[in-house]
Each structure stands twice: as C-alpha cells, then as structure tokens.
Amino acid sequence: MTIKLTDLAVKQIVKSAEEGGMQHVPLRIAAKRQGDGSFEYAMGFDEQADADITREYDSLMVVVNPMSVDLLTGAILDYAELEDGNWEFIFLNPNDPSYIPPNSV
C-alpha cells in the first residue's frame, strides 16, 4: 500500500465506522492534483472496486484507486489535535507541494 495510517487515525476511523454502521465497508482514500499543482484529498466509506489497491489495518480495510497511488506514495494519514480540543485527520505527504515536514513547523 502506498499510504500509512497512524494508530490514532485507525482508532478514530474504526470508531466512526462503528458509530455509522459502516464497520464492514472499506475506507477509500484518494488524492487529486489540482490545476495549480496543489493536492485535494478525500476519504470516506465506499465499496471496493476490482482495480483498487487494498490494505488491512487491524479490522479496517483501506482501498485506494490506482489513479491516486503515485500521489499517495509515502504519505501518512494521521489524526491530530491541531488546536486545543480540535482534532482532525491530516495528510503528511512529501509529494504534495504544500507539504511541510513536522519538524520544520
């Protein structure tokens, strides 16, 4: 698989899947390059397609469309507290032109 998920991200996604009754539906992760070169990310619960690349993280199945594979190679999906009490999913992706390594912040 081209993308890694942190333990915190997996835990939160599994929790969300259980709350929404989607625990048997894979998580789809996608990336798209915009006209200005920036990346747009998407994720949501979706059925698996034949061409998808798959990986299982504990009880969570993750699927990525082949068109997103190169853009997500080496990326990490994390769940982080960006401000006090404000937790969000973030993509740490060295392929993204707006990527700033965590140690550089």
The answer as to whether 103 is a domain residue is: no
- On whether residue 51 sits in a domain, the answer given is yes
pLDDT in tens, 13-57: 999 999 999 999 999 999 999 999 999 999 999 999 999 999 998
**Could you list the residue range(s) of the whole structural domain that residue 43 is in?**
3-97
Using alpha carbons, select from 23, 42, 44 the residue that is nearest to residue 31: 42
Residue 83 is part of a domain; what is its CATH number? 2.60.300.12
| pTM of the predicted model as reported, rounded to 2 decimal places | 0.89
In a domain, 59, yes or no: yes
